[in-house]
Amino acid sequence: MKTVVLKFGGTSVGSIDRIKKICKIIAFYKKKRNKVVVISSAMSGVTNELVKKSKSISNNFDKAEYDALLSTGEQVSCALIAGRLNHIGLKSRSWMSWQLPIVTEGPYSSSRISRVVVKELNNYLRQGGIPVITGFQGINNKFRLTTIGRSGSDATAIMLAKFIKAEDCIIYTDVDGVYTADPKQYKKAKKISKIYYDEMLEMASLGSKVMQPTSVQDAKLNNIDIKVKSSFILRPGTLITGSKKNFSDQIITGISSTKNDAKITIVGVKDKPGVAASIFKPLSNNLINVDMVVQNISQNGQDTDLTFTIKSDDLKKTEKLIQQNRNITYKKLTFDKNVSKVSIIGVGMITTPGITFRMFQALASKKINILVISTSEIKISVLISSKNVKKAIAALHKEFNLN
């Protein structure tokens, strides 16, 4: 008998009607004589409302209580799912993270699952029951509830699949898979039937919202294949895997883009050993993530220009930290919020020459200027004006035969 883990996101359980419909999906897997484990997120909008309530109580809400508060959202949805499954004649019960338990390590609000105790869970599965388990949360060594970051229910499903040795881990969401580009940005984007972990990790890191990078990393580290499907439409989804079987010879798998980047240029920085570290240390201490970095060659051996990108939400804080930094001297500080990063991703580029040229030529043919470039073995990212994103995606989609 096969064990299947089914995870349902917030939109999939966003209303009573939606919960009734996903219970039909659960029943379908159960009728095929599977052992079925269900992981649920909170109903859509609930977690955001809980965050608002915490802020209305205190600007410095206790971190442990914050996690205890946010974890109640999943408790509601799991109880409703289990209640509905019992109503339609299936044996089911809800399980809170502490009842297994799901053991976590790390700080509140961004803990990671270290292990799951599955003895009682396996006993319940053998009895034919369908456990409905709260995603997004666990318990630490102080017996306090913890949360594992937004969209953490994916990570819960992946780690449950690992510890109960499930054959399938299926993530049900409001999209029917991973696409070659954001369909909202490019209507001709195609669904990808299979994608490597590393490609999905790059796409998630570079703007694809289907899965969080940490969840993909967990799947890769634990060799758990993931299927992404829609709970709204009955269509085949996307398989995220490390297996090389049945893959196409497509060089580029997909294109990602971002919406909230900002570019900062520090002009005339004194060029000396350690100057870059002096610039980025205060940013690191303030948890500001620096992405693309380019430093111009110093012509006179004395000063240089340094350009880097951050999230636009961090722009004011970054500007202030640079201005207050007494360890550096510079002539001018400029910034631009109207920029976006566009990336091509594909393991095929490792063994295929000329990809960089083709990308740059395709953008140049549409008169799109490249501001910053960043590369890895399986991706090339360029920073361009935000107004050109849709045009760039269309040009690259055509150039690499993704249409």
Q: The tokens of 180 are what?
A: 């070659």
Terminal-to-terminal C-alpha distance of the chain? 40
Q: Where are the domains of the chain?
A: 3-174, 257-399
3-state secondary structure of 8: strand
3-state secondary structure of 291: coil
* Beta-sheet strands, E only, within 181-258: 191-192, 194-196, 226-230, 238-241, 254-257
Do residues 107 and 144 touch, judged by C-beta distance below 8 A? no
CA angle 365, 209, 265 (to 5 degrees): 55
Q: The tokens of 50 are what?
A: 């809980």
Cβ neighbours, 10 Å, residue 61 = 15
Q: Does domain 3-174 have CATH number 3.40.1160.10?
A: yes
How many CA atoms lie less than 13 Å away from 38 in the CB half-sphere? 34
User: Judging by DSSP bridges, how do beta strands 226-230 and 238-241 pair with one another?
Assistant: antiparallel
Rounded distance between C-alpha atoms, residue 12 and residue 230, angstroms? 8
Whose CA is closest to 27, among 91, 110, 78, 101? Answer: 91
Task: Give the CA dihedral 87, 88, 93, 95, nearest 10 degrees.
Answer: -110
Do residues 44 and 150 touch, judged by C-beta distance below 8 A? no
* Beta-sheet strands, E only, within 119-243: 130-134, 137-139, 145-147, 168-173, 178-179, 191-192, 194-196, 226-230, 238-241
pLDDT of residue 370: 95
Rounded distance between C-alpha atoms, residue 254 and residue 182, angstroms? 9
User: How does pLDDT run along the chain (403 residues), one tens digit per residue?
Assistant: 899 999 999 999 999 999 999 999 999 999 999 999 999 999 999 999 999 999 999 999 999 999 999 999 999 999 999 999 999 999 999 999 999 999 999 999 999 999 999 999 999 999 999 999 999 999 999 999 999 987 789 999 999 999 999 999 999 998 889 999 988 888 999 999 999 999 998 888 776 778 888 889 889 998 999 999 999 988 899 999 987 765 566 789 999 998 889 999 999 988 788 889 999 999 999 989 999 998 887 666 678 899 999 999 999 999 999 999 988 889 999 999 999 999 999 988 988 899 999 999 999 999 999 999 999 889 999 999 999 999 999 999 999 998 8
Burial class (CB in 10 A: 0-12, 13-18, 19+), 119: exposed
pLDDT of residue 303: 84
Q: Which element (helix H / strand E) includes 29?
A: helix 16-31
pLDDT of residue 246: 56
Q: Which element (helix H / strand E) includes 40?
A: strand 35-40
Burial class (CB in 10 A: 0-12, 13-18, 19+), 252: buried
Q: Which element (helix H / strand E) includes 384?
A: strand 379-385
Burial class (CB in 10 A: 0-12, 13-18, 19+), 138: buried
Q: Taking phi first (over 0 means left), then psi (-120 to 50 degrees means alpha), and beta for anything else, what does residue 106 get?
A: left
- Residue 12 phi/psi, 5° resolution? -70, -25
Say which amino acid occupies 253.
T
CATH of the domain spanning 257-399: 3.30.2130.10
Q: The tokens of 196 are what?
A: 């490597």
